[in-house]
Amino acid sequence: MRITGVATAFPPNRYSQQEIYAALGRNWSGKLEKPQVLERLHSRVGVAHRNLALTIPEYEHMTTWGQANDAWIRVAEELGEKALCRALHRAGISAAELDALFFVSVTGISSPSIDARLVNRMKLSPQIKRVPIFGLGCVAGAAGIARAADYVKAYPDHNAALLSVELCSLTWQRDDMSVANLISSGLFGDGAAAVVVSGRNNAQHGPRVLATRSVFYPDTQDVMGWNVSEKGFRIVLSPDVPRMVHENLRNDVDAFLGEYDLKRSDIGSWIMHTGGPKVLEATEQALELPDGALDPSWKCLSETGNMSSASVLVVLEQIFHHQRPEPGTLSILAAMGPGFCAELVLLLW
């Protein structure tokens, strides 16, 4: 089984960090005890530009969770179709040849889910197997690839796709003055990404998925996630996230690789979720990576922000199309997220 197609799609509304900060500053002027805190937090998240689901003036007229979620459904359909069409084209298969669709998001809800709406919109097979997944957050990009690989391992004549759509800006809370919400307003961006995984009887190109690993850390549910209120999703973002990475990732990766008689030094490419500067620094330190090993992740963080589950897929696309390793190179693709948990994928180029 191989990853045969990777593609992204972004809303057309692209802004610099300074433009977004200025707009949020106008909204929160008079509400923040120390307005300079917002500027300081936004300047430290490593983000230069982000794409937003809506234009900045449109957010000012959105006052309810229902309005935000309606916008999420509309934009998710548009971006989801673009990302999935591009990934299928790059994989060399038609929409009718897609046998399973895994859809992940944590920034909105709908029933029927976005994947069902895309079956109609894209004329996908009426027999397609749909698996909508909510709640995995940042880890869902890696987890979705793993679940798609599980599927095609069982059905080697099939093609499966993972689609991630995250519109984080539609979750920002105007009356939430918590540090977590201020940080998230500076860190998270919007976009979609799709990955096609093809069974061994269909795959002609792309990295092989050799193995996957899921790791759950008991009693850590308060590290990251949402508190759901009448006004929508309120971010839970503990300062313990970098510590969780630093304390656990090395042992998890070593145990995973050890099962295949491999070491970290055997890995030639690291495809890591763009969690933020402190998370990336903790990852570099925990895994004792050489200088530049996470440059693709740092670059994607700067250009698109943290897009939750889509982020690691944006990094994968960057490497897949612009920095592809030499044949025979091993890669680890990884992300961590609510639960708290980690997902690891071992690839061979």
**Known catalytic residues?**
138
Contacts of 94-98 with C-beta under 8 Å, sequence gap 24+, read: 95/122, 95/123, 95/124, 95/125, 96/123, 96/124, 96/125, 97/159, 98/124, 98/125, 98/128, 98/159, 98/160, 98/161, 98/196
Locate 236 and state its tokens: 């839970």
Residues 72, 102 contacting (CB under 8 angstroms): no
Distance CA 152, CA 197 (A): 7
Give me the residue label for tokens 């969690």. Answer: 275
Give me the residue label for tokens 């509304």. Answer: 13
What type of residue sits at position 153? K
Distance CA 185, CA 24 (A): 8
Residue 112 CB contacts under 8 Å (≥ 6 apart), including other chains: none
Locate 72 and state its tokens: 């999420």
